[in-house]
Amino acid sequence: MSFIDDPQFGNTMITLMAALVLVLQIATVGQRWLITTIRIFAVQSFFLAAIAGTIAFFNQANHLYIAALLTLVLKAILLPFLLERTVERVGIRKEIEPLINVPLSLLISGCLTLVGYVVAESFYHPEETSAQSALGHNTLAVAIALFLIGFFMMLNRRKALTQVLGLLSMENGLFLAAISLTYGMPLVVELGIFFDVLVAVMVFGILAYRIGESFDSMDVSKLRSLRG
Amino acid sequence: MILLWLLLIPFVAGPLAFVLRRRPFMEAVNLATFALVACLAAALSAQVLQRGPVSFWDGFLYADALSALIVLLTAFVALVCSIYAVGYFRHDEKYTFFDENEEVLGELAVYKLRKYYSLMPLFVFSMLLVALANNLGILWVAIELTTLASVFLVTFYGRKTSLEAAWKYAIIGGVGLSMALFGTILTYYSAHRIQGTETLAGLNWSVLVQNAARFDKTTMRLAFILILLGYGTKAGIAPMHTWKPDAYSEAPVPVAAMLAAGVLNCALYGLVRFYVLTSKCLGPQFGSQILIVFGLLSMGVAVPFVLVQRSFRRLLAYSSIDHGGIMVLALGFGGPLGILGMLLHMTFHSITKPLLFFSAGNIQQHLKTDLFRKAKGGLIHSMPWSGAGFLMATLAVTGSPPFSLFQSEFTILRAAFGGGYLLPAILFVSFLVAIFSGFLVHIANLVLGPDPGLPPAETCRWKKSSLLGLATVIIVLGFWIPAPLFSLIQSAADLVVSAR
C-alpha cells in the first residue's frame, strides 16, 4: 500500500488545506486592495476544490469529484475573473477604512474561529467514527469559522464588492460544511447551488457596477436615502 | 404531467417575451401564460383533492394539499397582477414616467417593458418551483432564484433609490438565505446518519417526514433556528425586515404586489415544511416559543412605523411585515386551529393584498407621489374607483368584519386562547387594534374629505377590470368560501397537524 492510499495521509492533507483556507480567510480581513482580496478568494476556492477532491478520493464518493471540478472552474477561475472585470470597469481599487480597524478585526476573527470550534464540538460523535468516515470531520470547525468571518466581513466593510466577497466566502464555508458533514449534498442540489451562486455573482456585479456609476463610489454606507 | 406543465409554461414564456420585443405581443404572452398557469393550478388542486398527492419523476416534483394551495395562490396573484400590469405600464409609458434623465424615451420604454415582461414569468416560475420541489435543497435553490429573478424588477425605474433598495434586498436576502442553506445542510446531515442514502431522495421531504422522529435532536434544533432566520429574512420577519419597505416602495406596483402576496407565501411555505420535520423530531413545543416571539416582534415593529408613516407605499410594506408576523404567530400557536388559521390567513391575505397595491399604484400614478403630505386628501372625488377600492382594501386588510381576514384572525385568536397563550393573545389583539387605527386614519385622510379640485383621473380598462374583479372576489369571500377551496385549506392544515 503506497502512502497515497493511506487514510492517515489524506487526513493530514485535508487538515493542512483546511488550515490554509482559514489562514487565507483571515488574510482577507486585513486586506484593503480589492484585486488582492479577489485573488485570495480564488486561491481559497482552489484549496476547497482540493479538499473536496481528496475526500472524494478516500471515500469513493464519485459525485464529489464533479462538485470539486465545478468549484475549481467556477469559484477559482470564472467568478474571480468576473469580479476583477467589474473592479476594472468601476475603476475603484481600494477599500476605504473599514468600520473596525485591522488589529481589532483580526482579533475578532480569531474569536470567531474559536466559536467555530466550540460549535463544531457538538457535532463530534467519536463513538461511530471509523478512520474512513472521520475524514474531514475536523474541517467542520473551519467551515463554521469561514461562515462567521464572512458574515463579519460583510458587516465591517463598506464597498459593495467586498460585501459580495464576504457573501461568497460564507458560501465557501457552507460548501466546506456540506462536504465535511455528509460528503456533499445530492448532486442535483449541488448543481443548483452552483448555478445560483453564478447568477448571484453576475447580478451583484451588475448592481455594484451601477451603484458605482450613479453614486460615483461603491461605498454602500452612502445608500441611506430610504428610511422609515 | 400537470406539474411539469406548470413549470414549463412560465419558464418558456420569459424568453419568448424577450424575443418578441413588441409590446402587444409581450402583453399577450404574459396574459396567456398566467391564465394558463391559473387553469393548471386549479386543475392541480382538484386532482390533489380527489386523489391525494401527485408526484412526477420519481418524486422529484411533488404536490400535496399544501403545495397545491401555494401554487393556487401564486397563480391567482400572478394572473391579477398581469392584468393590472398592462394598464399600469401603458400609463407609465404614456406619461414618460420611466426615467427623467434619459432622452431616448421610445427605446428605453421598450427596453424596460421587455425587462419586466421577460423576468416576470421567470419570477413566477421560481415561485412555483418552490411549491412543487420535493427536495429541500431544490426548495432552497428556488427561493434563492426568486430573489435573483426579482432584483432587476426592483431596479426597474433606474432611480438611485431603486438601486439602494435592490442592493439591500439582494444582500440581506443573500445573507439570510445562506443561513437557510446551512440549516438545510444540517437537516440533511441528521437525516443522512439515519437513512444513510446518498441519492437525491435523501433530501426529499416526503421521505424525510417518515424518519423525522429519529433525527439527531441537537442538530435539528440548530437547523430549525437557522431555517427560521433564513426563510424569516425572505418573508420579512422582524428584525430581518429592513429590506422590505425599500423594495416594496421602489418596485413597480405589480412586482411589489407579487413580492407581498407571492414571495411571502413561498418563504413561509419553506418554513412550514421544516416546522413539520422539527415538530416531529423535537415535539411541537420547541418551535412554538421561538415562532411566537418572532411573530409578535414583527407585529410590534410594524406598529410605530404604521402610526407615523409618511408614504403610502411604505405603509403597505409595514402591513406586509405585520401579516407575515401574524402567520408566524399562528404557526407558533399551533394545534389544528392555529395551523388552519395560518393557512386561512395566508389565503385571504394573498387575495386581499393585491387590491391594496393596485389602488395605491393608481393613486401614485395620478398624484405622481407617494407621500401623504403632498396629497391633499379627497381623492374619492377625482378617482372614485381607486379611492373606494383603497378604503375597502384597507378595511379588509386590517381585519374588520365582514371581510375574510377577520375570520382568520379570529380563528388564530381562538387558537391562542385554546392553547393557553394568554399574554401573546393580549399583545396580538392590541397590535391589531393599533395597526387598524393607524392605517384607517392615514387612508381616510387620503381618500375622504372635501374635493381639492384635482382633475379626474383617466380610467383604463385593464386597471379598472383588475380592480373591480378583485374587489368582487374579496366581497364574496367575506360571506362565502367555496367548499373545494376550504377543503383544500383544511387538508393542507391536516397535513401539518398530523405530522406532530
φ/ψ of residue B181, rounded to 5: -65, -40
A171 at the B interface (CB within 8 A)?
yes
What distance in Å separates the CA atoms of residue B53 and residue B268, rounded to the nearest whole number? 20
Identify which of B178, B198, B203 has the shortest CB distance to residue A167.
Answer: B178
Residue B240 has pLDDT above 50, yes or no: yes
Chain B residue numbers with beta carbons less than 8 Å from the beta carbon of A223 are 163-164, 167-168
Q: Given this model, what pLDDT does residue B339 score?
A: 93
Per-residue cell: B218: 441537537
Residue A132 has pLDDT above 70, yes or no: no
Residues ≥6 apart with Cβ < 8 Å to B352: B393, B396, B397, B403, B404, B405, B474
Q: Given this model, what pLDDT does residue B199 score?
A: 61
pLDDT, tens only, B92-130: 887 765 555 444 455 677 788 888 999 999 999 999 999
List, in sequence order, every residue forming a beta bridge with B135; answer none if it has no partner.
B204
Residue A221 has pLDDT above 60, yes or no: yes
Using the Cα atoms of residue B127, residue B491, residue B408 and residue B468 in order, give the sign of their dihedral.
Answer: positive
pTM of this structure: 0.92
Question: Of the ranges A142-151, A178-187, A200-209, B59-68, which one carries the lowest mean pLDDT score?
Answer: A178-187
Give B404→chain A minimum CA distance, Å.
Answer: 30
ipTM: 0.91
Chain A residue numbers with beta carbons less than 8 Å from the beta carbon of B218 are 122-123
Using the Cα atoms of residue B123, residue B124, residue B125 and residue B128 in order, give the sign of their dihedral.
Answer: positive
Chain A residue numbers with beta carbons less than 8 Å from the beta carbon of B130 are none
Give A94→chain B minimum CA distance, Å.
Answer: 20
Residue A183 has pLDDT above 90, yes or no: no
What confidence category does residue A100 fall into, taking pLDDT thresholds of 50, 70 and 90? confident
Single-letter amino acid, residue A202:
M
Q: Given this model, what pLDDT does residue B103 score?
A: 47
Q: Give the helix/strand (H/E) hosting A19.
A: helix A7-30
Question: Of the ranges A171-185, B9-23, B189-203, B351-365, which one carries the lowest mean pLDDT score?
Answer: B189-203
A210 at the B interface (CB within 8 A)?
yes
What distance in Å separates the CA atoms of residue B243 and residue B254, rounded to the nearest whole number? 18
Chain B residue numbers with beta carbons less than 8 Å from the beta carbon of A59 are none
B161 at the A interface (CB within 8 A)?
yes
Identify which of A181, A199, A226 has the shortest CB distance to residue B148.
Answer: A199
What distance in Å separates the CA atoms of residue A23 and residue A18, rounded to the nearest whole number? 9
More confident residue, A184 or B176: B176
Per-residue cell: B228: 427560521
B233 at the A interface (CB within 8 A)?
no
- For chain A, give the percent of residues with pLDDT over 70: 89
Per-residue cell: B175: 445573507
How many other CB atoms are found less than 10 A from the CB of residue B8? Answer: 11
Q: Show me where the domains of chain B are located.
A: 2-498
E runs forming strands in B108-207: none
Residue A165 has pLDDT above 70, yes or no: yes
Q: Given this model, what pLDDT does residue A131 score?
A: 46
* Of A83, A43, A80, A50, the residue nearest A64 (C-alpha): A50
Per-residue cell: B390: 383603497
Q: Given this model, what pLDDT does residue B500 score?
A: 54
